[in-house]
Amino acid sequence: GESVGLHLPTLSVQEGDNSIINCAYSNSASDYFIWYKQESGKGPQFIIDIRSNMDKRQGQRVTVLLNKTVKHLSLQIAATQPGDSAVYFCAENWGRDDKIIFGKGTRLHILP
Amino acid sequence: DGGITQSPKYLFRKEGQNVTLSCEQNLNHDAMYWYRQDPGQGLRLIYYSQIVNDFQKGDIAEGYSVSREKKESFPLTVTSAQKNPTAFYLCASSISRTGYEQFFGPGTRLTVL
């Protein structure tokens, strides 16, 4: 089906540790993927994107990995900080009708 | 500063009333979108517009209407026909419909009393 899902709804990580948020997508035709961060009561904020011709892309403290073989996307956040507490969700651009499908999100808690 | 704005941030409506949510962008983006977000849920697409004077229904368009008379503006009207309108509404824009990230506004929380 056309769905973008997440393996864990809530993730708690110690401040300073690295965190990994996972996302499974179902459509092998999807060719563009985005990670967003949403803080409480605010609109989603773009973090990083990756196109299907790549398997890794790095930003500032964040890395996105794309495994097309198993249709899996992950977001790695290095040295997590209190400000990283938010809901993170992935989105896929489904080429068939140009839809962008958003996942439900994973809430990341940063423990002091 | 370039960006996308929504107003108001909080909106209260009595049952049976129509209400219009504002969305403005100065990013010169062609595409604009309206999403609805319910607690613990992902974003669901209400309407989108790829160009001025054109718009398409999304997955949950019933009870909503939009207009796109100007490139910068994409207002959403929540009509009395919408059975469960209380939600967080998000407007977004992108350079074009596909292949580019969407920039989101701060959202409007609508509560029906």
The string of pLDDT tens digits covering residues B46-91 is 999 999 999 999 999 999 999 999 999 999 999 998 989 999 999 9
Torsion of CA B71, B92, B29, B11, to 10 degrees: 30
Whose CA is closest to B85, among B65, B100, B59, B64?
A: B64
pLDDT at B66: 98
pLDDT at B111: 95
User: How much is the average pLDDT of A56-67?
Assistant: 97
**Chain A neighbors of B106, CB-CB under 8 A:** 42-43
User: How much is the average pLDDT of B100-107?
Assistant: 91
CB distance B27 to B4 below 8 Å: yes
Mean pLDDT, chain A, integer: 88
pLDDT at A104: 82
pLDDT at B57: 94
Q: How confident is the model at residue A27 (pLDDT cuts 50, 70, 90)?
A: confident
Preferred mutation among A30, A45, A102, A106 to probe B, highest tally of B CBs within 10 A: A102
CB distance A94 to A31 below 8 Å: no
CB distance A42 to B107 below 8 Å: yes
> How many CA atoms lie within 13 Å of A39's alpha carbon, on the beta-carbon side?
9
**Chain A neighbors of B109, CB-CB under 8 A:** 41
- Closest CB to A44: pick one of B40, B98, B104: B104
Residue A8 predicted with pLDDT over 90:
no
CB distance B109 to B11 below 8 Å: yes
A39: closest chain B residue by CA: B106
User: How much is the average pLDDT of A51-68?
Assistant: 96
> How many CA atoms lie within 13 Å of B37's alpha carbon, on the beta-carbon side?
28
pLDDT at B2: 66
Residue B13 predicted with pLDDT over 70:
yes
**Strongest mean pLDDT among A41-45, B24-28, B99-103:** B24-28
Q: What is the pLDDT of residues A73-92, one digit of tens each?
A: 999 999 999 999 999 999 99
- Report the C-alpha gap between B61 and B66 in whole angstroms: 10
The strand ranges marked E within B4-107 are: 4-7, 10-13, 19-25, 31-37, 43-51, 54-57, 64-66, 76-78, 87-94, 103-104
Q: What is the largest CA-CA distance in chain A?
A: 44
> How close B26 comes to chain A (CA, Å)?
17
Of A4-8, B58-62, B88-92, B96-100, the least confident: A4-8
Contact B103/A at CB under 8 A = yes
Does the distance separating the beta carbons of B97 and A102 come in below 8 Å?
Answer: no
